[in-house]
Amino acid sequence: MKNKIVILLVVMSLFLSILACQSSTLFVPPTATVEASSTPLPPTPSPTSQPTPSVELPTVTPSPEMTVTPENGWNIYRNPTYGFELQYPPGGDITINLPEEARIVLPKELGTNLDEKYLDIQAQPLGGECLSPLTQGLSPESMNPETLLVTNLEFTVLKGSEGAAGSRYDWTSYAIQDEDTCVTLDFVLHSSNPLNYPTPPPIYDPEIESRVFSQIIGTFVWFIP
């Protein structure tokens, strides 16, 4: 009897072992799946270059024309023989001073190819057309005179140039007359060819060097000798 019970327990143990092996073989764990999200991912920001800040360049304001008065240090040229006067800037030098002619050497910018800047003044009794001696030899068609009104005074303006031996003379002539007198004011810019120098200097600026011409003309007055 006791042996039967032992055999029965062995058989039941074998049966339970077989069931356990079958259960572990048949069980397959489920595979995890990842569903795509319906919400789109935010786009990856692309690198953008920072805008270059705009730089406002300073505005160059030209200096105002000089108020020409003796109090500003300007000098007075006076011609009592023909009854007129004008003013010229500091640094000017009268190198010729006669009743019929005068020369005023005017200050200029240094270090350029401009050798001289001067004003030649010619005065004489009016006899015929009032023109500068610089116009001699020029045809009337080539002169193209212009009229300049300064307050109540009328000037005839002529321009020209000539050159020789590596030098150049650019001139502007202002002629004015009254009932019996002719006065011409000839501004001359005498320059040299930069290649004449071992080290060529900068070329002068004719506009800057000529600004003083109109300032001097604005000071011209007649008076009774």
Could you report the per-residue pLDDT of 129-151, keeping only the tens digit for each? 899 999 988 876 777 889 999 98
Q: Taking Cα atoms as reference points, which of 107, 141, 106 lies closest to residue 121?
A: 106
Q: What superfamily would CATH give domain 70-222?
A: Mog1/PsbP, alpha/beta/alpha sandwich (3.40.1000.10)
Burial of 57 (0-12, 13-18, 19+ CB in 10 A): exposed
Beta bridge partners of 57: none
CA distances from residue 59 to 53, 55, 56, 207, 211 in whole angstroms, order as listed: 18, 12, 9, 20, 21
Q: What is the pLDDT along the chain (225 residues), one digit of tens a residue?
A: 545 554 555 545 555 555 444 444 433 333 333 333 333 434 434 433 344 333 332 333 333 344 455 557 899 999 999 999 999 999 999 999 999 999 999 999 999 999 999 999 999 999 888 999 999 888 767 778 899 999 899 999 999 999 888 899 999 999 999 999 999 999 999 999 998 889 999 999 999 999 999 999 999 999 987
pLDDT confidence of residue 77 = 97
CA distances from residue 79 to 87, 96, 99, 156, 209 in whole angstroms, order as listed: 12, 13, 7, 20, 26
pLDDT confidence of residue 204 = 96
Burial of 117 (0-12, 13-18, 19+ CB in 10 A): buried
Q: Taking Cα atoms as reference points, which of 88, 44, 85 lies closest to residue 70?
A: 88
CA 161/CA 85 separation, integer angstroms: 27
CA 187/CA 156 separation, integer angstroms: 14
Other C-beta atoms within 10 Å of 194: how many? 15
Task: For residue 15, give the amino acid letter.
Answer: F
CA 42/CA 161 separation, integer angstroms: 76
Contact 210, 188 (CB under 8 A): no
